[in-house]
Structure 1
Amino acid sequence: MIVKLTVLCAALLVPVAAVPLASLPASAAHPSRGLMEDVRRDLDAFARIAREHGGNRAAGTRGFDGSVSYVVAELRRAGYAPAVQPFTYPDWAERDTPEFARTAPRARPYVHGTDFVTMEYSGSGDVTARAVPVDVPAAGQAGTAACEAADFARFPRGAIALVQRGACEFSVKVTRARAAGASAVVVYNRSDARSVAGGTLQRQRKLPVVSTSYSIGSALVRAARKGTLRLHVRTKAGTVRKHGANVLADTSGGASGRVVVVGAHLDSIPEGPGINDNATGVAAVLAAARRMSRTPLRNRVRFAFWGAEEDGLRGSEHYVTALPKAERAKIALALNFDMLGSVNGVRGVYDGDASLGAEKDPPAGSGAIEAVFRDYYASRDLPVTDSPYTGRSDYGPFVKAGIPAGGMESGADGNKTTAEARTYGGKAGDPYDPCYHTMCDTVKNVDFALLETMADGVLHAVRHFSAELP
């Protein structure tokens, strides 16, 4: 049953309903006291919502509506006046089964869903042409393939571009390829990932784009270097309008001109219930919100539960772009928490000081955000790992707007390194989350010990920035 909710205006939070502040126990010295009971209860609730609504909580489904209703009810129970911000966006869909095959020198068809997928917002087309690798990285490296126009300096018009994932957004690679005259694009994954390089191109494109694994892609590159490789790519896809929603709730205290946004995405993908990705982040943010509802604050905290992240950061993008300039200027920083309990995970902190060499330039103040997490875990003798500052989760729109941002994640489809296995345990060479974007992303797909420390870090950061800004 979908609860009827009050709409959020572009800049102002319109309360769903005003309720008395809940009476919460005083904060204990150890931040996790009672925290994991809340987190586990929320994860069970999201799992139940998915089971009751077709096995997922994807944007535009009854499972997502049920997730919105649950979060609203929990925020009200904690004493907030939450609001729902609806939005629409173009949603991409395939209209026929795609095809991808090698036609020469030896014919080989590839299996849709196993060997390749169509990239979200791929255009339609039926192409058979020579395949040409673009700026192939050194073995074992991510490289910057197809990120610069110069990478296509001698690219033959009409050819199919073979490009490796890494260093810039998929949309940049495809834009460069089309400008160079490519008839189609095949994106293959990095060498440290075993899966197909699925992803979004963010808006509708005019040429077919498919993605595949590193093993298939690297084999195609070797064949293409001999000059005889020809591929066949056929896609049929387009867009329709889709409905989404964000849930937002402000603390009653704190200066309205100094707002700390604390967010996590509420939607799953259609293929599964999305418990690690990202009910863990939502549950940690909800648990923090419950504990901050009656805390005296210097800075206002805005808890945000984003819709349609899996469709290309649609909810957070809508929120940031819809804010009037004056309201946007009041946002001091944004925190983002996406996948906090990967079963083969790490304690990843967004690299706000760009020590890794950021794909996105972190706005000033982002390094100070990273330092707060690092200092907290150092005080507990717990290791942390730099997580690449890519902007590919819901902090991305804030970064584009020049707002300092940071947060945590525990790893998705990349593979754990030997050094990480020595530090955190787990198995080197295996994915951080073996159930990433699949139906097995259930409550069983959560490392609760890791999640507990991550939830502690969420609460610590919220408390810190509610009192002190970078």
Structure 2
Amino acid sequence: MLKRKMLPFAILASLAFSLPAYAAPQPDSGFDNKILKRINADNIYNTIDYLSKEPRVSGTEAEHNAVRFIEEKFTSFGYDTQVQPFTFQSYKGPDDISLSISELEDVEWEISNFSYGVNGQATGELVYAGLGLASDLEGVDLSGKIALIKRGDISFADKVLNAARAGAEAVVIFNNASGAMNGTLGGTNSDFVPVLGLSKAQGEELLEKLEAGETLTVTVAVEGAEVSESTSHNVIATKKPDKEKDSGQIVIVGAHHDSVEGAPGANDDASGTATTLELARVLSDIPNDTELRFITFGAEENGLLGSYAYVDTLTEDEIGRTVGMFQLDMVGSRDAGKLTMFTVDGKANIVTDLGSGVGARLSEKVNYGKEGRSDHVPFSEVGVPAALFIHSPTEPWYHTPEDTIDKISKAKLQEVAEIVGAAVYLIAHEDTPPVKKTKAGPKKGFFNQFESSQQETE
């Protein structure tokens, strides 16, 4: 499980009973055309180009440079801008990782490391442990063995810890989708054992051999990883509403500005950061009755640390007044799939209702599904309606040195900016009614008519 601070139980308990359901505003069709016409994909593209000259690893000078650039941009648009520092344990990847199997000496294994993974070497018989759930390991003795685990359902950290508790000397986690797997354990833990990632194809090949009764002897080695204390930052831009028309509500648009080691992060997530900046520019002078907050988070790649740090600062009142959080992560790759809105529980909320409704009006069908691996998660956990906007499936360049500006699609940037920009405008503009609190959940209205066209995706 990701290491993070948690809100006091009393606050969480009270929020569970006091957070209202919301009904979406119901403007006339075309009300948001003014905003749509102002969005400029060239602005977004140029910002991505600037931010992706080098990797922006959390706690490094490159990330700090990005923070200063973002702060200056928000300030130039007229926002009250705050840079919020937080400390965390940064991770330097290992100098060497290796996987060998005595019975398959000639295979070149497609392996990867997990941030915050521990150093060590272990040799033992490979045993399949399913998804690594506690139920998968009930009564299973992995003492002296290497656990083979499939990605999915629970965090990488929980998989490693569950296997370690069952006696495993090391863990190999294979992907559940094609492409590279670069994960994080979310923070340090003395109970971790060495862990490596493996491609979907090779993991399934090993599983077939085990199910056929073959015995495989595996050696896992991780050397040279280091952990140290570092400082990262969130950048928060706020536009207060007119005091005479203040609805008392808050809407948030977010992205993360850091990238992984070795990756320029043009799509992940300079694209989301640049789109957030463009929406801040476009919405800077609208007459708003809802407080606008645009936030770029640090240390997302280390386990959503920046967004958890930010949510930890929110009061119970602020949480209760926040009617929607739109998270933009990887929104520009030409090589990724369709735009999808992910919620933590896979259920629709006001954010997905608005996204779906605007998308339908713009002839862009936007599906939704279940996913919990970006900065919408901490908001959802305290009851704020939140969704991740991302193209799915992800591009093959994800978390690699090839995540560069030449892979970015201006058409996709424009699409996402229009959908999110119009949705936020409909909440925040003073000529639309406040998002209404209801006792029985969102009322059927302008955007709910599109709900039946949404299809859940896994």
TM range (shorter): 0.7 to 0.9
CA contact (8 A) 1:284 1:458 kept: no
The C-alpha deviation readout for 1:280-339, integer Å capped at 9, x for no partner, is 111211111112222121211111011111121111111112334444333333110001
CA distance in 2, matches of 1:39, 1:295: 20
State the secondary structure of the residue aligned to 2:41. helix
- 2:44 corresponds in structure 1 to 39
Deviations 1:368-406 (A, max 9, x none): 3211111111112222233x4322011111122222101
Taking a change above 3 Å as real, the CA distance of residues 453 and 281 of structure 1, as seen in their structure-2 partners, is same
Report the counterpart of residue 118 of structure 1 in structure 2: 113
Alpha-carbon separation, structure 2, partners of 1:34 and 1:324: 33
Is residue 2:150 matched to residue 1:164? Answer: yes
CA distance in structure 1 between the partners assigned to 2:179 and 2:42 by the alignment: 35
TM-score for the superposition, normalised by structure 2: 0.80
Q: Does 1:298 align with 2:298?
A: no
Picking from 363, 383, 407, the partner of 1:445 is 407
- Stretch of structure 1 that moved more, 119-128 or 37-46: 37-46
With over 3 angstroms needed to count, the CA separation of the structure-2 counterparts of 1:152 and 1:235, relative to structure 1, is farther
1:45 Cα shift? 2.6
Aligned counterpart, 1:433: 395
2:330 aligns to what?
339
Does 1:204 find its partner at 2:188?
Answer: yes
Distance 1:304 1:381 in 2: 29
For residues 223-270 of structure 1, give each alpha carbon's deviation from its aligned partner in whole angstroms, at most 9, with x where no partner exists. 333241110012243421111000001113164842212101111222
- The correspondence of residues 143-162 of structure 1 with structure 2, limited to 5 A, is 145-162=131-148
Which residues of structure 2 form unaligned runs of 5+? 1-30, 436-441, 443-458
Q: Which residue of 1 aligns with 2:221?
A: 234
1:377 paired residue number? 359
Is the alpha carbon distance of 1:380 and 1:323 closer, same or farther for their aligned partners in structure 2, counting shifts above 3 Å?
closer
CA gap of 1:28–1:38, structure 2 versus 1, over 3 A, is: farther
* Structure 1: gaps spanning 5 or more residues: 1-25, 136-144, 353-359, 415-431
SS of match in other structure, 2:335 = coil
Q: Against the structure 1 CA distance between its residues 89 and 222, is the aligned structure 2 distance closer, same or farther, given a 3 Å change threshold?
A: same
Contact 1:347/1:450, CA 8 A, preserved across alignment: no
The whole-number CA distance in structure 2 between the counterparts of 1:76 and 1:176 is: 47
Aligned to 1:217: 203
1:327–1:377: structure 2 CA closer, same or farther, 3 Å change rule? closer
The aligned amino acid for 1:132 is: V
2:178 maps to 1:193? yes
Note if contact 2:240-2:290 (Cα within 8 Å) is conserved in structure 1: no
Q: Could you say if the C-alpha distance between residues 45 and 94 of structure 1 is closer, same or farther in structure 2, counting changes exceeding 3 Å? A: closer
Counterparts of 1:86-105 in structure 2 under 5 Å?
A: 86-103=85-102, 105=103
Q: Judge conservation of contact 1:56–1:269 (CA < 8 Å) in 2.
A: yes
Q: SS of 1:373's equivalent?
A: helix
- The match for 1:131 is 126
- Report what 2:350 is aligned to: 368
Amino acid at match of 1:264: A
**Counterpart secondary structure, 2:291:** strand
- Show the 5 A alignment for 1:65-104: 65-103=64-102
> Residue 351 of structure 2: SS of its match in structure 1?
helix
In 2, Cα distance between the equivalents of 1:132 and 1:246?
42
The answer as to whether partners of 1:102 and 1:230 remain within 8 angstroms in 2 is yes
Query: 1:44: how far off?
Result: 3.0
Write the distance in 2 (CA, Å) between the matches of 1:367 and 1:332. Answer: 10
Whether the aligned pair in 2 keeps the contact of 1:64 and 1:267 (CA below 8 Å) is yes
Q: Partners of 2:39 and 2:426 in 1: how far apart?
A: 19
- Structure-1 residue corresponding to 2:319: 328
Amino acid at match of 1:393: S
Q: Secondary structure at the match of 1:309?
A: coil
Residue 294 of structure 1: SS of its match in structure 2? coil
TM-score, reference length from structure 1: 0.78
CA displacement at 1:350 relative to structure 2? 2.0
Please state how far the C-alpha of 1:32 moved relative to its aligned partner.
Answer: 3.9
Secondary structure at 1:149 match in 2: coil
Question: Structure 1's 30 and 92: CA in aligned 2 closer, same or farther, altered over 3 A?
Answer: closer
**Aligned residues of 1:272 and 1:437 also touching (Cα < 8 A):** yes
How far did residue 199 of structure 1 move? Answer: 0.2
In 1, the alpha carbon distance for the partners of 2:250 and 2:273 equals 19
Relative distance call for 1:40 and 1:124 in structure 2 (3 A) is: closer
SS at 2:204's partner residue? Answer: helix
Alignment partner of 2:36: what SS? coil
One-letter amino acid of the counterpart of residue 88, structure 2: Y
Percent of residue pairs identical: 29
CA contact 2:39–2:414 (8 Å) conserved in 1:
no
SS in 2 for 1:70: helix
Aligned residue number for residue 418 of structure 1: none
Determine if contact 1:149/1:176 at 8 Å carries over to the other structure: no
Question: Aligned equivalents of 1:396 and 1:433: distance in 2?
Answer: 22
Deviation for aligned residue 1:131: 0.7
CA distance in 1, matches of 2:132, 2:218: 19
- CA distance in 1: counterparts of 2:135 and 2:160, whole angstroms: 11
Alpha carbons 2:259, 2:269 under 8 Å: kept: yes
Q: Hey, what does 2:169 align to over in structure 1? A: 183
Change (3 A) 1:188 1:83: same
Contact 2:170–2:194 at 8 Å: present in 1 too?
Answer: yes
After superposition, the Cα gap between the structure-2 partners of 1:399 and 1:158, relative to the gap in structure 1 and judged at 3 Å, is: farther
1:350 to 334, 341, 347: 341
CA–CA distance in 2 between the matches of 1:194 and 1:200? 16
By how many angstroms is 1:96 displaced? 4.1
Check the 8 A contact 1:347/1:408 in 2, yes or no.
no
- Indicate if the aligned counterparts of 1:362 and 1:405 stay in contact, CA closer than 8 A: no
Q: Secondary structure at the match of 1:85?
A: strand
Aligned length: 396
Per-residue displacement from partner, 1:431-461 (whole Å, max 9, x unpaired)? Answer: x423211222222111111221111112112
